Amino acid sequence: MSKNIAAIVGDGFEDSEYSEPAAAFGREGHRLVNIGIKKGDTARGKTQGTEVTIDKSVEESTPEEFDALLIPGGRSPGNLRKDENAVSFVRDFVNSGKPVFSICHGPQLLVTAGIIKGRKATGYKSIRKEIEEAGGEFIDREVVTDGALVFSRDPGDIPAFIRASLDKLG
């Protein structure tokens, strides 16, 4: 069954952490909707300059519209967490119990949303302390799942991240 997946994207996202899961979801018949600060803006990848058009603003989006959330890493999560609407959207999404796929620096949005405490997670090694200080348990493994949450560390983990994400989608 086809699912609607929100991808929360801002400038400086890690290209492969967006484009590879997006392609895999598309091959499985799922629909990706790009969510960002402002509808119609273009977010650019930090490595290859991939351009992603924002389909909907976080302000006009609700978790009820989607079956899952993708949070690619890079500088995007750090940029997005400056916006309270983006932080609220992520918090509401996690609290909905629906799957959330977070890779690399993606957990920074969960830290800012105050919802990493008591959860097992992984992410890029430079944010380990941030996750731990927020009360999360950092596990250095290619994929860490905690309930509906799926985490991976970096682009090298993308194949395992995609497999675990597709498993959560059913």
- In the numeric block, the tokens 């302000």 are attached to 59
| Structure confidence at residue 88 (pLDDT) | 97
| Structure confidence at residue 160 (pLDDT) | 98
| Structure confidence at residue 1 (pLDDT) | 84
Residues 62 and 89: their CA atoms lie apart, in Å, by 7
| Structure confidence at residue 54 (pLDDT) | 98
| Structure confidence at residue 42 (pLDDT) | 98
Full pLDDT tens readout for the chain, 170 residues? 899 999 999 999 999 999 999 999 999 999 999 999 999 999 999 999 999 999 999 999 999 999 999 999 999 999 999 999 999 999 999 999 999 999 999 999 999 999 999 999 999 999 999 999 999 999 999 999 999 999 999 999 999 999 999 999 99
Encode 42-53: b = buried (16+ Cβ within 10 Å), e = exposed.
ebbbeeeebebe
Instruction: List the structure tokens of 132.
Output: 């731990």
> Which of 19, 52, 48, 17 lies closest to 34, judged by CA?
52
Looking at the DSSP bridge assignments, the partners of residue 151 are 102, 144
Domains defined along the chain, listed by start: 4-169 (3.40.50.880)
> Which of 155, 130, 165 lies closest to 74, judged by CA?
155
pTM: 0.98
| Structure confidence at residue 94 (pLDDT) | 97
Catalytic hit among 8, 104, 113, 144: 104
What's the sign of the alpha-carbon dihedral 106, 111, 112, 115?
positive
- Residues in contact with 167: Cβ distance below 8 Å, sequence separation at least 6, in sequence order: none
Active site residue 71: no
Contact between 168 and 148 under an 8 Å Cβ cutoff? The reply is: yes
| Structure confidence at residue 139 (pLDDT) | 98
